[in-house]
Chains A and B, each alone.
Chain A
Amino acid sequence: MSKYKKSNSLQSTALQCERGGRVLFDNLTFELHAGEALLVQGANGSGKTSLLRIITGLTTAIEGDVLWNGRPITADEQAYQRELLFIGHQSAIKQELSVRENLRLHYALNGCGADSMVELAEKVGLRQRLGVICSRLSAGQQRRVALARLFLSEQPLWVLDEPLTALDVDFIATIEACLQAHLANGGMLILTTHRGLDLGTATIRNLDLNESAKK
């Protein structure tokens, strides 16, 4: 059963990005449809983060556009942002706030969410720690707080930058299951990761930035 529209698509016209006079990538194109995952690979400094920022619309490419359902994402920025969930390299967790308060911000960022807060905390294994201030949590636990947004998400397009950093084996399995369910629902996934990830039967496309830089 698919939760999201089958017709959703994300593609790009030849993207170009340079940094300090050095071309990171040029003529970069990709294409992604409902239920598919795009794995972005490349060495450090190959422009992975820049590419993700261009895809999210935080910044624009020097040349080329990202198209959501055939229309440039800049044409209706807010409509696109309603379809998009981005979790960046940094956790975006406020250290001064408790787990509960951070989760409450997640609800606000996502607009809605089916789970109650306790259920959500249960899913990420932090139920006992709802009242704890986040600066007292370990790096892995903070990452869990950040990734809790995945379980709330109603957005079809997920863009994840190194989501698995600092996670333990058990929780990686939980996240894999969550990603598989998302793809099975007709969701779309773009991610960078240094470690292998089991995405089940979904179609996986690869985008290697090292190759496109050589061109």
Chain B
Amino acid sequence: MFTFLHKYASPQYFYSWSASWQKWASIIAALLMSVGLYYSLLNSPADYQQGETVRIMYVHVPAAWLSMFGYMVMASAAIVTLIWRIKVAEIMIAQCAVIGASFTALALITGMLWGKPMWGAYWVWDARLTSELVLLFLYFGVIALSGAFDDERAGARAAAILTLVGIVNIPIIHYSVEWWNTLHQGPTVSKFDSPSAHPSMLIPLLVMALAFKAYFFAVLFKRARTELLLRERNTSWVKALLKEAV
């Protein structure tokens, strides 16, 4: 296991195999995104309650799912970092945090846009929005911490510990917010989570969710590869690579 991991995760080896992964992830993301957007924006029914605004859901819900998914990928990278000290995993943490934070922000913004016509205000202390907000704070913490160290590897390890403390805390935060919300909130439209499970709406939603995940990996690989070149710029394999390119 260990030698296997070390071989495939050595910076040079990772750089070569991730190129095709990045390419395929981008292609899949583009395909799914065009199909998903067509169905969700043009070829799916409007909601009987929410009208055309329901189409925001096709972006909002996948973004919210991805914000959680991104944290889980980050936590996996954190575990690998702490146990095996693998450079590529160390780089992944900060990159996951940036992408995850962007999608969390997207979920918040689309949630606010959806809220204006539904609630009459851009911001309501709704359970899901509040949870996303706290998640955004957690992402900010990881980004700030990993960037604060002069030594990038120490920064990555610190961020890894914070990520893992976070992963224990996220469910607790989530349930506390949910509970707090049911106690304080009067009756509001609570169909925020999932558009009714009718196939004509569910399928585009799932396609969009997959498209987002493919996009996530495409960007993650792209960013990780760039960062890897930057950090390894003094090594012989990067120098050889640059010479080849010139």
Interface residues of A (CB under 8 A from B): 18-21, 62
Main secondary structure of the interface of B (DSSP, over half): loop
Q: Which chain B residues (129-159) contact chain A, with CB distance < 8 Å?
A: 150-153
Check if A19 sits within 8 Å of B151, measured CB to CB: yes
Chain B residues with CB below 8 A from A19, complex form: 150-151
Interface residues of B (CB under 8 A from A): 85, 150-153, 231, 234
Chain A residues with CB below 8 A from B152, complex form: 20-21
Chain A residues with CB below 8 A from B150, complex form: 19-20
A selection of 12 A-B contacts at a CB cut-off of 8 Å is A18-B151, A18-B153, A19-B150, A19-B151, A20-B150, A20-B151, A20-B152, A21-B152, A21-B231, A21-B234, A62-B85, A62-B153
Chain A residues with CB below 8 A from B151, complex form: 18-20
Tally of A-B Cβ pairs under 8 angstroms: 12
- Least CB separation from A62: chain B residue: B85
Chain A residues with CB below 8 A from B153, complex form: 18, 62
A20 to B234, CA, bound (A): 12
A21 to B235, CA, bound (A): 10
- Least CB separation from B230: chain A residue: A21
Smallest CB–CB gap between B84 and chain A, Å? 12
- Least CB separation from B149: chain A residue: A20
Smallest CB–CB gap between A72 and chain B, Å? 15
Chain B residues with CB below 8 A from A62, complex form: 85, 153
A29 to B134, CA, bound (A): 48
A62 to B152, CA, bound (A): 13
- Least CB separation from B234: chain A residue: A21
A21 to B231, CA, bound (A): 7
Chain B residues with CB below 8 A from A21, complex form: 152, 231, 234
Smallest CB–CB gap between B222 and chain A, Å? 21
